[in-house]
């Protein structure tokens, strides 16, 4: 209701000279989202190096989000360019199912996510919905790279090296070590909305998002052709 009222006022009296450029990006930080999360990513992408295939899963993990920053820039078509930066660390349990030349093994060990900061870019739709804000990606990378540490990697490389004496592929084992310390974690598919709930936002966060959406709407309306009377 506040957004509608503000739109009417702007239409009647015009935007003030000090108003923010409607095309300017805006940065948000949601302090209430900085907390612990459980079991966000049960599986990572399968790693393939030559004849060796390793499927990584994490049946349990805890991630501590320490910082978040979202930058939105309105586009003329009503969507928004989004840049999301996250700072986090965590721990859990890692399972690796490896196969090479007909031989297979399963290794398990503790998983550590060292303190790191990851960023991604996307194009999204943002709209006010009952109880929050729906953020729906139009364009999104298929996965995000996450740094991991685990003794499992050492054991897997030892197994790989032993087999390489029988089937060849020492270089494959060397490449595997690098691939298993920076794994690809799949992201949700394009078109799947994420609702940023009002309960996870401070009043100032909600006000800032509503004001930004009003500004983006105003920019879009100003770019439409006017009807002749």
Strands 36-38 and 47-49: unpaired
pLDDT in tens, 216-228: 988 888 765 544 4
Q: What is the total residue count of the chain?
A: 229
pLDDT in tens, 88-141: 999 999 998 988 777 888 989 999 999 999 999 999 999 999 999 999 999 999
- What is the CB neighbour count within 10 angstroms for residue 183? 20
Instruction: Return the closest-CA partner of residue 124 out of 83, 81, 186, 69.
Output: 81
Percent of residues, the chain, with pLDDT higher than 90: 50
pLDDT in tens, 62-78: 999 999 999 999 998 99
pLDDT in tens, 154-190: 888 787 777 666 555 555 677 777 778 888 888 889 9
Domain residues of the chain, as ranges? Answer: 2-222
* Separation of alpha carbons 74 and 24, rounded Å: 8
* 13 band by pLDDT with thresholds 50, 70 and 90: very low
What pLDDT shows up at residue 170? 54
> Which one is predicted more confidently, 8 or 38?
38
pTM above 0.85, yes or no: no
* Separation of alpha carbons 181 and 148, rounded Å: 5
């Amino acid at each position: 209701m506040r957004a509608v009222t503000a739109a009417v006022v702007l239409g009647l009296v015009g935007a003030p000279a000090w108003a923010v450029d409607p095309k300017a990006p805006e940065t948000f930080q949601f302090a209430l989202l900085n907390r612990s999360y459980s079991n966000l990513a049960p599986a990572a992408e399968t790693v393939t190096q030559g004849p060796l295939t390793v499927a990584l899963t994490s049946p349990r993990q805890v991630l501590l989000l320490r910082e978040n920053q979202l930058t939105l820039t309105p586009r003329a078509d009503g969507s928004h360019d989004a840049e999301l930066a996250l700072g986090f660390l965590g721990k859990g349990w890692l399972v690796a199912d490896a196969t090479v030349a007909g031989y297979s093994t399963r290794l398990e060990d503790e998983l550590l996510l060292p303190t790191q900061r990851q960023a991604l870019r996307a194009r999204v739709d943002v709209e006010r919905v009952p109880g929050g804000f729906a953020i729906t990606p139009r364009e999104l990378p298929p996965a995000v790279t996450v740094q991991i540490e685990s003794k499992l990697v050492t054991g897997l490389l030892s197994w790989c090296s032993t087999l390489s004496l029988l089937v060849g592929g020492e270089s494959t084992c060397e490449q595997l070590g690098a691939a298993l310390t920076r794994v690809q974690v799949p992201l949700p598919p394009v078109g799947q909305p994420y609702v940023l709930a009002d309960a996870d936002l401070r009043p100032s966060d909600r006000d800032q998002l509503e004001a930004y959406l009003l500004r983006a709407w105003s920019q879009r309306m100003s770019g439409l052709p006017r009807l002749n009377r």
